[in-house]
Amino acid sequence: MIIEICATSLNSIKNAQNAGADRIELCEEYLIGGVTPSIDFLDRSIKLSEIPINVLIRPRGGNFHFSNNEIDKMFESINNFKKFKIKGFVIGFLDASNNLDPKILEEFRGQTSGYDLTFHRAFDYLVDQTKSLELLIENKFDRILCSGSKIDSEKGLENLINLKEIANDKITIMPGGGINSKNFNLFKESGFQQIHLSGINKKISLDSDYNIIKEIIEMSK
């Protein structure tokens, strides 16, 4: 099982890799759901990390209805980040009807050719998820990060299982949102091969916690 950690700090990266995590989703501004990291933070993260990094491309917090200027900014960030040794990109967007624009989707795949590509939790807000899943498969996305259209993945587990069945191994469904040691086995026993979490204890810090991640890693074996 692959464990991906959402990291917004260098300490989070250090704790994730020391605990045995497999991959980092790099972003900043955790409290607003994550946004595109700065080039400086990415540079320092690449130098520190010994595990693959996928970079979130999201120009702002809030909804996923991005203007043409914001879409252009996303493409600009992708091109700037190609200079670094990253594994891939994490993107997502909605059109005005909460669907996917096939032309924009195709352009994102074209701009990220050769890179690992994840469609993030904007997927949870799509009105036609079956059609959208098929479009993502057609455009050779590697995975979908989602919570089953619920506030967290445990509440959305039934929907996540249904999506996994529809995907039929043509694209990976990666649960994310509220996953911890208390509910992790629900996802393991349901056959999910990749899991996304922050591993944060908000009472202590917004850094991903070594002990929390380590416990999840041990449970995944």
Distance CA 103, CA 92 (A): 14
Kindly give, in sequence order, each residue whose CB lies less than 8 Å from that of residue 40, ignoring residues fewer than 6 positions away. Answer: none
**According to the model, what pLDDT value does residue 55 have?**
98
What are the structure tokens assigned to 44, written together?
Answer: 């320092």
pTM over cut 0.85 = yes
- Sign of the Cα torsion 23, 17, 161, 120 reads negative
Quickly count: other Cβ atoms within 10 Å of residue 13's Cβ: 25
Any idea how long the chain is?
221
Q: Which domains are assigned to the chain?
A: 2-220 (3.20.20.380)
Half-sphere exposure in the Cβ direction for 61 (13 Å, CA): 8
- State residue 51 phi and psi, 5-degree precision: -120, 160
Amino acid at 156: G
pLDDT in tens, 20-37: 999 999 999 999 999 999
Q: What is the Cα Rg of the chain in Å?
A: 16
Tens of pLDDT along the chain (221 residues) come to 999 999 999 999 999 999 999 999 999 999 999 999 999 999 999 999 999 999 999 999 999 999 999 999 999 999 999 999 999 999 999 999 999 999 999 999 999 999 999 999 999 999 999 999 999 999 999 999 999 999 999 999 999 999 999 999 999 999 999 999 999 999 999 999 999 999 999 889 999 999 999 999 999 99
What are the structure tokens assigned to 160, written together?
Answer: 């996540």
The burial of 202, by beta-carbon neighbours within 10 Å (0-12 exposed, 13-18 middle, 19 or more buried), is given as exposed
